[in-house]
Structure 1
Amino acid sequence: MKVSSVHLCITIISFIMIYSGFSKVINIYEFINNLYYYKHIPESLFLIIGYGIPIIEIFIGVAIWVPNVRSKIIIGYQLLIGSFMVLFIVHFGSFMPQGCGCFGSSQGETISFLTILRESLFFLPAWIYFFLVQSEKYRKHMLKI
């Protein structure tokens, strides 16, 4: 049961990252244009962020399947989600005409508590993964005693 739950968490994270990365790549210029609405991002970084974020997301989505680096990749995933959360908190109440940009362009939305709550749900598969892995390590350690 735990092995399948761990694989489900990995699959969910992988899907989120690959889908998010490719949805930005497909409409890269819209994504870069969407960065304009995040007032605290300097325009000089738009191209770096616009091309870098999708590459990082796709990398995380693929690299999470490598067992030796999985925990580090999941920590990177959490840092990325956390940085998006900080960006949303800083821009709380701002209207984004093309949505937040997480999964490409969408309908306009105002960043609210619901936006932040929705974003925080992306932490769940990583937290569940670490809980399952740590509980399994603890169980194995107790069996040795």
Structure 2
Amino acid sequence: MISLLKLVLRLVLAGIFLWSAIAKFMDIFTFGEILRSYNLLPDASIKLLAILLPIVELFVGIGLLIPFTQRIAAWGVILLSLAFAGGLLYNYGEILPYGCGCFGPNEAQAVGFLDVFKDILFIAGAALLLLLNRRKTLA
């Protein structure tokens, strides 16, 4: 049963991060505008981050699918999701022109509880995956 839960967690998180990376790669320019709309970074760093962030998400997604890299990838999920949640909390209640932009551009909407909550779920899923893998090594 634990093996099945680990597999489901890995596949779901990998799917989410791969989907997010691909959506951003499909329109990297607009993703840069999404990042700019958060008003967190200087303009000089937006282009670089717009390229690096989907690459990191892609590696995290792939890493979750490879058994010997899943722990590192799970930490990647936690770190990325903490950063994303921080950006969302900074803009909480603000209307962003592309929505949260988590999976590419969306319609303009205010950042709300559900936007932050999904990152909390990703963190919880990755933490559970780490815990389940730890139990195996302790047993």
- Normalising by structure 2, we get a TM-score of 0.91
Alignment of 1:49 with 2:59, yes or no, is no
Q: 2:14 maps to what in 1?
A: 14
1:8-56 CA-to-partner distances (Å, cap 9, x unmatched) read 1110111011000000011111111112211121100111110111111
Q: 1:32 maps to what in 2?
A: 32
- Normalising by structure 1, we get a TM-score of 0.88
Instruction: Tell me, in whole angstroms, the C-alpha distance in 2 between the residues paired with 1:57 and 1:118.
Output: 16
Instruction: Tell me, in whole angstroms, the C-alpha distance in 1 between the residues paired with 2:82 and 2:100.
Output: 15
Q: 2:75 maps to what in 1?
A: 75
**Residue range with higher mean Cα deviation, 126-135 or 43-52:** 126-135
Question: Which ranges of 4 or more aligned residues in structure 1 deviate by more than 6 Å?
Answer: none
Structure having the higher Rg? 1
Alignment of 1:136 with 2:139, yes or no, is no
Instruction: Tell me, in whole angstroms, the C-alpha distance in 1 between the residues paired with 2:59 and 2:104.
Output: 18
RMSD between superposed Cα atoms in Å: 1.4
Matched-pair contact (CA < 8 Å) for 1:12–1:125: no
SS state at 1:96 partner: strand
SS state at 1:92 partner: coil
Identical aligned residues as a percent: 24
Residue ranges of structure 1 left out of the alignment (5+ in a row): 141-145
